[in-house]
C-alpha cells in the first residue's frame, strides 16, 4: 500500500478521492473490467476502506463516478450570455469533446449500452445531461420556451454531437479533434439556417445571431468556404419552367 493511504482526509475528501480514482479507471476500461481492488490500488487505499464508503460495491461507485462526470458535462455549457453565439457554443463544445477524448472507453460503454452496470438510474443521469444541454443552448438562443421545430433542432444537434463523438472514437479519433469541433459547429450553423428557412421563430433567432457575427468571425469563414460549393448550384435559382 502506498503513502497516500495514510494521509488524513475528511470524509468528503476521501469520498471525492475514491470517485476520482474510479472515474479514471472507468474512463479507459469497460465497466466489467474494473474491480474494487483496482480502484483501491489506484487510490492507494485498502479494499475494506472502499467498501466502507461504497457499501454497494462497484455498482454504487460506478453511479457516483457517472454522477460526477454528469456534473462536469453539465458545466460545459455554462457560458456568459454575451458575444457571438457560435463562439460561445464553440467553447462549450471544446469542453465536451475534451471530456469525450479523456473518457473514451467509458463514454462509449455508457452510450452504446449493453453494459452490466446500466440501470434505469444511469439512463436517467444521461438523459438529464442531454436535457440540461438543450436548456442551456436554448437559453443562449434567447428562447426559453421554444416551439416544436426549434426544440427538435437543438435536441437533434445534441444527439448528432453525441453520435459523431461515438463514431469519432470508433474511427480511431479521425479526423483530428479540432476538425471534428469545427465541423460540428458548422453543423449547428447549417441546422439553424435550414430550420430558419421553414420556421418563423427560428428565423428571428437566426437573424439576431447573424447580426452579431463579424466579418472575421467563424460564420463568415464558413460562408466564404461555402461560396465555391454553392456556385455550382446557380441553375437551381432559375425559375421553374412551364
Binding footprint of its own copies on the chain (CB under 8 A): 112-114, 118-120, 122-123, 148-149, 151-152, 155-156, 158-160, 162-164, 166-168, 171, 174-175, 179-180, 182-183, 186-187, 189-191, 193-198, 203, 206-207, 210-211, 213-217, 219-220, 222-226, 228-230, 232-233, 235-241
Place of cell 438543450: 134
- Please state the separation of Cα 113 from the chain's center in Å: 17
Instruction: Closer to its own copies by CB, 16 or 115: give it.
Output: 115
Give the nearest distance from C-beta 14 to its own copies in angstroms: 31
Instruction: Closer to its own copies by CB, 81 or 235: give it.
Output: 235
Give the nearest distance from C-beta 238 to its own copies in angstroms: 5
Give the nearest distance from C-beta 123 to its own copies in angstroms: 5
Q: Which residues contact 41 (CB under 8 A, 6 or more apart)?
A: none
Place of cell 488524513: 8
Instruction: Closer to its own copies by CB, 102 or 171: give it.
Output: 171
Q: Which residues contact 173 (CB under 8 A, 6 or more apart)?
A: 101
Give the nearest distance from C-beta 106 to its own copies in angstroms: 15
Is the torsion defined by CA of 130, 30, 93, 176 positive or negative? negative
Instruction: Closer to its own copies by CB, 75 or 123: give it.
Output: 123
Give the nearest distance from C-beta 202 to its own copies in angstroms: 9
Quick one: which of 156, 212, 37, 23 has its CA closest to 164? 156
C-alpha 83/C-alpha 216 separation (Å) is 14
Give the nearest distance from C-beta 183 to its own copies in angstroms: 7
Dihedral, CA of residue 71, residue 124, residue 104 and residue 169, to nearest 10 = -130
Instruction: Closer to its own copies by CB, 26 or 168: give it.
Output: 168
Instruction: Closer to its own copies by CB, 47 or 155: give it.
Output: 155
DSSP letter (8 states) at residue 232: T
C-alpha cell at 206: 437566426
Amino acid at each position: 500500500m502506498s503513502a497516500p493511504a495514510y494521509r488524513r482526509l475528511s470524509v468528503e475528501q476521501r469520498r471525492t478521492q475514491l470517485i476520482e480514482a474510479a472515474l479514471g479507471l472507468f474512463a479507459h476500461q469497460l465497466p466489467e473490467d474494473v474491480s474494487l481492488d483496482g480502484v483501491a490500488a489506484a487510490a492507494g487505499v485498502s479494499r475494506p476502506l472502499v467498501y466502507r464508503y461504497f457499501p454497494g460495491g462497484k455498482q454504487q461507485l460506478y453511479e457516483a463516478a457517472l454522477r460526477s462526470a454528469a456534473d462536469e458535462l453539465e458545466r460545459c455549457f455554462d457560458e456568459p450570455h454575451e458575444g457571438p453565439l457560435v463562439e460561445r457554443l464553440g467553447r462549450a463544445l471544446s469542453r465536451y469533446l475534451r471530456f469525450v477524448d479523456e473518457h473514451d472507453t467509458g463514454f462509449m460503454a455508457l452510450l452504446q449500452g449493453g453494459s452490466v452496470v446500466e440501470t434505469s438510474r444511469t439512463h436517467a443521469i444521461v438523459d438529464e445531461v442531454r436535457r440540461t444541454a438543450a436548456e442551456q443552448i436554448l437559453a443562449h438562443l434567447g428562447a426559453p420556451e421554444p416551439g416544436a421545430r426549434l426544440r427538435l433542432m437543438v435536441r437533434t444537434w445534441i444527439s448528432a454531437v453525441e453520435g459523431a463523438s461515438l463514431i469519432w472514437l470508433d474511427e480511431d479519433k479521425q479526423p483530428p479533434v479540432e476538425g471534428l469541433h469545427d465541423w460540428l459547429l458548422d453543423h449547428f450553423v447549417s441546422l439553424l439556417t435550414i430550420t430558419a428557412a421553414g420556421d418563423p421563430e427560428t428565423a428571428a433567432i437566426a437573424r439576431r445571431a447573424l447580426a452579431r457575427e463579424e466579418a472575421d468571425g467563424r460564420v463568415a469563414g464558413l460562408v466564404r468556404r461555402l461560396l465555391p460549393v454553392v456556385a455550382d448550384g446557380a441553375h437551381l435559382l432559375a425559375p421553374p419552367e412551364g
